Amino acid sequence: MTTQRMSSSNASRRNEASRRAILTAAFELVQEVGYAKLSIESIAARAGVGKQTIYRWWPSKGAVLFDAFLLMLGEQADTGEPALPDTGDLEADLKTVLRATIEELNDPRYDEPMRALNTEIVHDPALAALYSERLDGPMREMKKRRLRSAQRAGQLAEDLDLDVAVEMVWGPLLNRWLQRSGALTPEYADSLVETALSGLRPRH
Amino acid sequence: MTTQRMSSSNASRRNEASRRAILTAAFELVQEVGYAKLSIESIAARAGVGKQTIYRWWPSKGAVLFDAFLLMLGEQADTGEPALPDTGDLEADLKTVLRATIEELNDPRYDEPMRALNTEIVHDPALAALYSERLDGPMREMKKRRLRSAQRAGQLAEDLDLDVAVEMVWGPLLNRWLQRSGALTPEYADSLVETALSGLRPRH
Amino acid sequence: MTTQRMSSSNASRRNEASRRAILTAAFELVQEVGYAKLSIESIAARAGVGKQTIYRWWPSKGAVLFDAFLLMLGEQADTGEPALPDTGDLEADLKTVLRATIEELNDPRYDEPMRALNTEIVHDPALAALYSERLDGPMREMKKRRLRSAQRAGQLAEDLDLDVAVEMVWGPLLNRWLQRSGALTPEYADSLVETALSGLRPRH
Amino acid sequence: MTTQRMSSSNASRRNEASRRAILTAAFELVQEVGYAKLSIESIAARAGVGKQTIYRWWPSKGAVLFDAFLLMLGEQADTGEPALPDTGDLEADLKTVLRATIEELNDPRYDEPMRALNTEIVHDPALAALYSERLDGPMREMKKRRLRSAQRAGQLAEDLDLDVAVEMVWGPLLNRWLQRSGALTPEYADSLVETALSGLRPRH
DNA sequence: TTTTAAACGAGACGGTACGTCCCGTCTTGAT
DNA sequence: ATCAAGACGGGACGTACCGTCTCGTTTAAAA
């Protein structure tokens, strides 16, 4: 796993083909059978790999899944420093981004693996830390960059806590998706952005 | 399980003592060993009950846990129509409530079981529906009642979508707790309420 | 079961229809699924009877089967004092009887139930006693009567132990059938009778 | 199981210590609790072995017991070509052998396991074939060798079917033991041998 | 004829064992 | 010398039945 790979010179010995086969198999299987029924044995079988090869490099099923996720994300977009669109119109940019996120969440290809990752994090602090460092951290930083830009342009309150701001825009969306407590529509994205920007109180 | 109990006259045959023993055992065990290591066998053993008695009445481990939760909640507060405090000062009332929620989430007695319930819901739509109907629904209604009261008093925007409003106040909190993406402090509660009420944009 | 029925005046209350339904179901089921997979539950279900009705009247699965056997045998021939044919020609008569026995043993309708009964007896001394008293005893007596008749006619050795004689004629047959250690043909019946009567040693 | 061991090079992977522990445990347990209450779980527990290790190598409880039997027999006497005593006096030799057999059958150490094996054979043709090949076959051959020797010496009828002869001497004994239809005494052994050799008919 | 106690069908219950799956570790044979 | 293949001890799964125990409901005897 990532952690071990960092600390070990054995990593040089590592068979990259096996690593990719394992991660690909894990990602496919979690879509097919769901996280609960995903087993190390089935991953090894699908990948054509001995079980020990998985146990050697990853500490848990969740860690495999995490790396699988990283691999899949990395493949589609690994373009250095990522950024949110910045047209100068914050509201429009956020709506664009949230609508895109909603589309991704509705994509059955990613639904089950992402749910799996999110719930694994809830129970596994080690994985949560990894997630925070490698996935959520960079994403949050990217979001905060866009908000800071708007803040400098006077479009956001000067004393705004950007972490709270990020959570207020993206948190409700994630919750609604995970709990299926409501439909994820483009209109919802718009409503969310408008309400977050203007606040619940009447203006004027 | 709840669903089955509703639809069946067999329920009259049901042994209430066993039912309570099972739910109590489940609630205790999930605290002690965590959800991942919670087994039907251990619940049955602790409850002094045959496994079949669990399988007979509940469709899944998650459903047992859900009913266990309901039992525990029902015991401490089953006072008809629940309500949020309403002093007339919405901001103060919401801060009070969120601070209380944070205290509850930090209580180790409820931490593990609530995490378990929340993640079960993510993977099990049937359980999610049940959760929505029996737990989240009533709570959400209670929250919306308080917001509606404020809206009538002119403290909230007239065209506000109350569902979005509820999610914007409580969603970030839930996420931060589940993902451990930040500390849950009373200050955070205050900040959340203030930001949600005023919005991200500068006022004036 | 037989034993209990004898000792109790409760028997008067007994539902004869249920009794027959149980025995019939048991006999059918042992043919269909074999003795190992025959369960009290399945007998009760097939007979349309509560399990308790079986447990009330029989002490074991083997006892049910035994009574089922008795019922089936009794139906086809319950003609008071049974007897082996006695034409005066012992050898011919025995061959006739053994050939008939072989045909019965080869009848798939009786094969499985009879195997079941025979093996039950091996492990259950109580049932063995019952078997000895109600089935084997009368049959053996019948066989001995025929042999005694021949003995009086000077066709058998005067000092012959009739029990040993019976066992020597019928025992090998039963063994061969139970252990499938050889084909059960009419020729075998003949050979058995001839060898038993003449002995292994050369005559003269 | 024996069959599988023969056909497979996987057997090389097999843990011989586990195999012996399983067979020993099975043999002990069948003595202690009887065949009906002998469970795979208890064998595995006693042997300190996972259940799967039993299911992996044996197709049935009976097959385990059979191998256990083979192991126990093999340990006490695995001396190549076994033979019955041949003093030239067939009657005396047979009496010696039957008396010894009776002693063995009366030995509580072997009683329950042997009953178990014998009844398993009755219901399981595959096991019966194995039994015939590995245990009954060699024994029967040994018995026939002794009879053939006597036949050459003119002590047995020239046209005697040796299989029938073997069954006539040993069959009644086995039956009496299994069905408990009479006492197994040395006198019975003598009587059996004398009657079989001389036949039921009066001589002269 | 009514009462009343049992036998009855149904099936829930605490248990035991089943045979299967997978865990994480350990061993082996082929490359 | 590495690694796929897979055996191993172990634990839990979900199912089938065990034998016991209520439940109401017949049903046949005693009153």
pLDDT in tens, chain A (204 residues): 344 443 334 456 678 889 999 999 999 999 999 888 999 999 999 999 999 999 999 999 999 999 998 888 776 555 566 789 999 999 999 999 999 999 999 998 888 889 999 999 998 888 899 899 888 999 999 999 999 999 999 999 999 999 999 999 999 999 999 999 999 999 999 999 999 999 989 876
Do A172 and B167 count as a contact with CB atoms less than 8 A apart? yes
B55 beta carbon < 7 A from strand F?
yes
Helix, strand, or coil here: D128?
helix
Provide DSSP, chain B.
-HHHHHH-GGGGG--HHHHHHHHHHHHHHHHHH-STT--HHHHHHHHT--HHHHHHH-SSHHHHHHHHHHHHHHHH---SS-----SS-HHHHHHHHHHHHHHHHH-HHHHHHHHHHHHHHHH-HHHHHHHIIIIIHHHHHHHHHHHHHHHHTTSS-TT--HHHHHHHHHHHHHHHHHHT-S---HHHHHHHHHHHHH-SSPP-
* Inter-chain CB proximity B200 and A168 less than 8 Å: yes
| CA–CA dist A55, A60 (Å, integer) | 8
Q: How far is the CA of B72 from the C1' of F24 (A)?
A: 34
What does the alpha-carbon distance between residue A159 and residue A152 come to, in Å, rounded to a whole number?
Answer: 11
Q: Where are the beta strands (DSSP E) in chain D?
A: none
- Tell me which of C60, C127, C200, C204 to substitute to probe the interface with D (most D C-beta atoms closer than 10 Å): C200
Q: Distance between CA A178 and CA A180 in Å, rounded?
A: 6
Q: Taking chain D (204 residues) in consecutive chunks of 10 residues, what is each chunk's mean pLDDT?
A: 40 89 96 93 98 96 94 69 90 97 91 91 91 91 96 95 96 95 95 96 83
Nearest CA in chain A to B91: A201
**Helix B16-33 × helix B61-76 angle, to 10°:** 100
C-alpha distances in angstroms, B30 versus A10, A98, B16, B124, D197? 38, 36, 21, 18, 76
CA of D44 to C1' of E19 (A): 14
Number of Cβ pairs < 8 A linking chain C and chain D: 159
Q: Is the CB of C52 under 7 A from strand F?
A: yes
Q: Inter-chain contact B155–A34, Cβ cutoff 8 Å?
A: no
Q: Are B198 and A157 an interchain contact pair (Cβ–Cβ within 8 Å)? A: yes
Contact state of D199 with C199 under an 8 Å Cβ cutoff: yes
Inter-chain contact D122–C203, Cβ cutoff 8 Å? no
What residue has token string 């069905």? D179
Residues of chain B neighbouring A157 (CB-CB closer than 8 A)? 198, 200-203
Cβ atoms of residues A154 and B202 within 8 Å: yes
Mean pLDDT in residue range B35-40: 94
Calculate the CA dihedral of residues B185, B191, B196, B199 and round it to 10 degrees.
-150
C2 CB inside 7 Å of strand F:
no
For C152, residues 6+ apart whose C-beta sits below 8 A from its C-beta are: none
**For residue D74, what pLDDT is reported?**
75
Best mutation target among B167, B169, B180, B191 (most A Cβ atoms within 10 Å) is B167
**The predicted structure's pLDDT at residue C3:** 41
D40 φ/ψ angles, rounded to the nearest 5 degrees: -60, -40
H or E segment and range at residue C89? none
CA distance B13 to chain A (A): 33
B42 touches strand F (CB under 7 A): yes
- From the candidates B158, B201, B204, which should be mutated to test the interface with A, based on the most A CB atoms within 10 A? B201
Evaluate if residue B168 carries a pLDDT over 80.
Answer: yes
pLDDT along chain C (204 residues), means of 10: 41 87 96 93 97 96 93 68 90 97 92 91 90 91 96 95 96 96 95 96 84
Q: What is the b/e burial string over B148-164, where b = at least 16 CB atoms within 10 angstroms of the residue's CB?
A: ebbbeeebbbeebbbbb
Q: What pLDDT, on a 0 to 100 scale, did the predictor assign at position A80?
A: 60
pLDDT value of position A99: 97
CA C136 to chain CA centroid, Å, is: 6
C1' (E22) to CA (D59) span, angstroms: 21
CA of A50 to C1' of F3 (A): 7
Residue B177 pLDDT > 90: yes
Closest-CA distance, B73 to chain A, in angstroms, reads: 20
CB D77 within 8 A of CB D135: no
In which residue are the tokens 């969310």 written? A192
Residue B157: which of A35, A157, A200 has the nearest Cβ?
A: A200
Indicate contact of C with B: 3+ CB pairs under 8 A: no
Record: contact A123-B125, CB cut-off 8 A: no
Q: Average of pLDDT values for B40-61?
A: 97
Q: Which residue is nearest to nucleotide F1 (CA to C1')?
A: A13
Q: Is D167 close to C180, i.e. CB distance below 8 A? A: no
CB contact under 8 A, B200 and A197: yes
Residues 6 or more apart whose Cβ sits within 8 Å of residue D66: D1, D2, D117, D120, D127, D130, D131, D134
* DSSP H helical ranges for A48-107: 51-57, 61-76, 90-106
Q: What is the dihedral of CA C16, C19, C23, C26, to 10 degrees?
A: 150
Instruction: Establish whether the CB of A180 is closer than 7 Å to any nucleic acid atom in strand F.
Output: no
Instruction: Give the C-alpha separation, D23 to B8, whole Å.
Output: 50
Chains touching chain D, criterion 3+ CB pairs below 8 Å: C
Which residue is closest, via its CA, to the C1' of E15?
B50
Residue D88 and residue D153 in contact, taking contact as beta carbons nearer than 8 Å = yes
Report the protein residue whose CA lies nearest the C1' of nucleotide F4.
Answer: A50
Residue C99 distance to chain D (closest CA, Å): 16
Give percent above pLDDT 70 in chain B.
Answer: 91
In this complex, the nucleotide whose C1' atom is nearest to the CA atom of residue C39 is: F17
Give Cβ neighbours of residue A14 (< 8 Å, ≥ 6 apart): A5, A57
Nearest to C163 among D116, D118, D182 (CB): D182
Q: Are B177 and B105 in contact (CB under 8 A)?
A: yes
Residue C11: per-residue pLDDT? 61
Tens of pLDDT along A126-135?
889 989 988 8
Tell me which nucleotides of strand F come within 7 A of a protein CB.
2-22, 24, 28-29
Integer Cα distance of C51 and A108 in angstroms? 50
Integer distance in angstroms from CA C57 to C1' F31? 29
Contacts of B180 in chain A (CB under 8 A): 121, 125, 128, 132
* Overall size of chain D counted in residues: 204
Rounded CA-CA distance C110/B179 in Å is 68
Rounded to two decimals, the pTM is: 0.88
The average pLDDT across B112-138 equals: 91
Instruction: Tell me how far CA of residue B79 lies from CA of A19, B109, B148, D188, in angstroms.
Output: 56, 22, 21, 85
The alpha-helical segments, DSSP class H, found in chain A are 2-7, 16-33, 40-47, 51-57, 61-76, 90-106, 108-123, 125-131, 137-152, 162-179, 186-198
Structure token pair of residue C29: 């089921």
Of A9, A10, A99, A116, nearest to A63 by C-alpha is A116
User: How many Å apart are B13 CA and E13 C1'?
Assistant: 10
Q: What is the pLDDT, as a whole number, of residue B77?
A: 56
B59 touches strand F (CB under 7 A): no
Q: Is the pLDDT higher at C176 or at B81?
A: C176
Instruction: Give distance CA D113 / C1' E29 (Å).
Output: 39
Work out the percent of chain A whose per-residue pLDDT is above 90.
70
Disruptive mutation site among C115, C163, C167 for chain D (greatest number of D CBs within 10 Å): C167
Put simply, the answer to whether A179 touches B131 (Cβ < 8 Å) is yes
Structure confidence at residue D164 (pLDDT): 96
Tell which strand E nucleotides have any atom below 7 Å from a protein Cβ.
6-29
* Tens of pLDDT, residues D46-103: 999 999 999 999 999 999 999 999 998 876 555 566 789 999 999 999 999 999 999 9
Which residues 181-200 on B are within 7 A of strand F at the CB atom? Answer: none
How many CB pairs below 8 A link A and B? 159
pLDDT recorded at residue A79: 54
Q: Which of D156, D201, D204 to mutate to test the interface with C (most CBs of C within 10 A)?
A: D201
Task: Check CB contact under 8 Å for C168 and D202.
Answer: no
Domains of chain A by start residue, with CATH? 1-60 (1.10.10.60), 81-204 (1.10.357.10)
Look up the protein residue whose alpha carbon has the minimum distance to the C1' of F10: D50
Judge whether residue C9 contacts strand F, using its CB and a 7 Å cut-off. Answer: no
Verify D-C touch: 3 or more CB pairs within 8 A: yes
All chains having 3 or more CB pairs closer than 8 angstroms to chain C: D
Query: Do B30 and B116 form a contact (C-beta atoms < 8 A)?
Result: yes
Count the alpha carbons within 13 Å of D127 in the hemisphere toward its beta carbon: 23
